[in-house]
Structures are given as structure tokens and as C-alpha cells.
Chain A
Amino acid sequence: MEEFDLIIIGAGPAGLTAGIFASRRLLKTIIIGEVIGGQVMSTTLIENYPGFKQIKSVDLVEKFEEHVKSLGVDIIQDMVVEINEVDDGFIVKTTSNEYKAKALILAFGKSPRTLNVPGEKEYTGKGVSYCANCDAPLFRGLPVAVVGGGNSAFDAAHYLSQIASKVYLIHRSETFRAFDSLVEDVKKRGVEFLLNTEVREIKGDKFVRSIVVENKITGEKKELEIRGVFIEIGSEVKADLIKHLVKTDETNHVCINEKTETFYPNSDKIRPGIFAAGDLSNVPFKQIVVAAGEGCKAALQAYNYIHKIETKGIVGDWSAGKK
């Protein structure tokens, strides 16, 4: 089994940035992640990452990846299935291998939330989609529904209103998390809003043909004839992999302190050797630049942990920028 100083689990902005800083600290490091770029890949254009007024998500991820690889850090595209603590570190099992390290950085972000209604799983890829950017044009001239009330749902409704014959926006409450300007724009495009409404079932034959929705206030149920359902109801941390190792909050986010250190489950005692960064942590503001910054902090803290250096108050760390 190959041994490392540091294993970073997750290959999004937090994990890749951690890889850069760990490498510059000469830690023997690997990154293991299912998708290079993580959730960045769920969007098309990035317009708020410093240095780039506008850049395609694929291009930004490619720049991150090139930077990491240029420093000699391997990125293993694999799924982590188990993490266990041993006397002198941690063993990380993937679907095809096992790795050992003195320290871990958890940075595997969040996954799209599902509706958990009958028909959803069965019709995924057959009318049910979690990526409007990818699949919308396949529904040209067809009626569709978007489920959700945040920016991604409204972005999807906006995009689909230019392609589909009819767009329903189904949202379980009366208020939206989306920006007001986006809501107004979508309203002008003839999208039909079904508020206080939840999806109960997705029906079809080989492909989706209809959805059953229920108004939560009146209890009225109706069946809408549609061919596509775009589920845009946010994302969640899949914490099953790590719940035995670290403390998580009521929404499954990993609890960390200002140094990205984690805690033992159900405890306020710091868990040595495991750090967390990016969207899976309880740090607010889920942005690429925040995830990258947290990834940097986690790598520098992991270095201090491995070399038994105490991290003191506010100190400059300019040496991290020099080889």
C-alpha cells in the first residue's frame, strides 16, 4: 500500500488548491476525487473568480488541474468507499485501491439533492435531469417542469423558456431564494409558477410523460403533461463516509474551526490529523474563491500538524509562496 503525508479527498476548488499548497510545502500528497472540478462542473460560466471576468467552468477547472499536476501531485479519479483510522494515520479505500496517509483533508463538496419521489430514479436520464445546462436542448419544443426556488432553478427556467414549448416552475413555498432580478425576468418569459406545490410522482412509459403535483395548502392534486423534469433543489453533503470520524452539524456539514481543524463526532475535542475545506464544511458562503481559500488553509494546517508546528495567532506565511 502506497503511503503519503497527505491525502486530499475531493478534486474541486478546495481540494485542488490544497494540493497546490501541500506540494509547495513538499508534502507527499495525492488527491482522490470522482470529478475533477467538483460542483464547478455543474455550471457553464464563471463570472466571479478573481482574475477572470468570464471563464467557462471547464476552462477554469483545466487551469486548476494543470497547476496541480505541474507541481507533481497525482489526481486519482476514483470513488472513496471507506476511511479508517489506524495507529499512525488513516487508510483510505477506493473502489480499486488502498492508500495510507498521516493526515487527511476532506474536500469532497456536496452532491445534488434529489426529490425522493416515485419515478425519479427510474426516469433519470429519460426525462429527469439534474443539469439543465447539459440536457435542456434535448427538450426543444416540448413541455417541461423545473423544480426549485433558488438561482439554479430560475437559471434553468430562464434557459428552458427559450427552448421548450411550455415551462412550469414548481416550488414548495411562496418565496424564492433566487435573485429578484432573475425572478422578474423569468416571470416576463411566460413561465407558469406553481407555488406552495410539491411533486408527488413522476410517471411515464419509456420516458417521462407527466408529473403529479400537490398544492400543500389546498391539498389539490393535478397531473401535468410534461416530457422533462429539471430538478434544481440545491445540494447536500453525503456524510455517511465520515460520520464515524468527525463531527457534523444538523445539515451534515463538517464542523471546523478557523484553522480548518475538525472535531470528534458529537464532541468539541479537536480531531488530530483530519482537516476539512470547501462546501462540505460549515463555513458560510459557498463560492469557488472561498473554497480555494479554505483549501489553502487546510493544506498549511496539515503541514503544521505533520511537522508538529503549533499554529499561532495571526502570522504571515509568505514562505508558502517560495520554494
Chain B
Amino acid sequence: MEVILYSAEWCPWCQMTKKFLIENKIKFKEVNVDKSPEAVVELIEKTGQMGIPVTVVDGKPIIGYDVQKLKEALKLK
């Protein structure tokens, strides 16, 4: 399962999403949109979103810190 989290340090919901992934022992790649303009372009192109956090699970974007959708996509109980 490939999991990418588009986030930023100053975004509380991003920090919650990151914490959720760590607590559930999910391996993920974090892309910090604040640190590179390229990451913003990548976020928009790959997910069609202009908002963070976005968690991409096997190509499917989950918008915001949505625990139910994250649990479903990550097949967590």
C-alpha cells in the first residue's frame, strides 16, 4: 500500500493526520507543501485539490482529516 501525505508544519489538521498514521503504524511518505513550490504543483496535479491535508492511498486522495475515510482506505478497524 502506497501512502503519501501532503501537509505543512503550520497546519493543525495535517499534524493530526500525521499522528493518526503514525499511531496506526502506517508507512507513509510526507510531502511538505510549504517547503517547495513544486510540491504545491504536484499536489494540485495529482489530487486536484487546493487544500491540505490530503492523504493519497494507492492513488486515491482523501481530503482533510477524515478519520472514517482514512480508516476505510487503510483498511483499519
Interface residues of A, Cβ cutoff 8 Å to B: 34-37, 41-44, 56-58, 62, 77-79, 95, 124-127, 129, 131, 133-135, 137-140, 206-208, 227-228
Contacts and interface: CB of A to CB of B under 8 A. Distances in A.
Contact of A58 (B12, B33, B50, B63): B12
Contact of B12 (A41, A139, A207): A41
Interface of B: 8, 10-16, 19, 33-34, 37, 40, 43-44, 48-53, 63-65, 67-68
7 contacts: A35-B65, A43-B12, A44-B10, A137-B33, A138-B50, A140-B40, A228-B50
A139 B37 CA distance: 10
Contacts of B63: 125
Contacts of B34: 137
A227 B40 CA distance: 14
A41 B67 CA distance: 14
B67 A134 contact: no
Given A35-B65, A78-B68, A125-B63, A134 B14 contact: yes
A127 B12 contact: no
Nearest to B77: A96
Given A35-B65, A135-B51, A138-B44, 12 more contacts: A34-B67, A42-B12, A126-B51, A131-B13, A133-B10, A133-B11, A134-B13, A137-B8, A137-B34, A138-B33, A207-B44, A207-B50
Which 5 A-B pairs rank lowest in CB-CB distance, beginning with the nearest? A134-B11, A125-B51, A58-B15, A77-B67, A41-B12
A55 to B, nearest CB: 12
B27 to A, nearest CB: 21
A57 B64 CA distance: 17
Contacts of B11: 131, 133-135
B52 A135 contact: yes
A137 B44 CA distance: 13
A207 B45 CA distance: 12
A70 B43 CA distance: 38
A209 B68 CA distance: 31
Contacts of A129: 50-51
B16 A41 contact: yes
A58 B48 contact: no
Contacts of B14: 134
A251 B44 CA distance: 38
Contacts of A79: 68
A163 B40 CA distance: 14
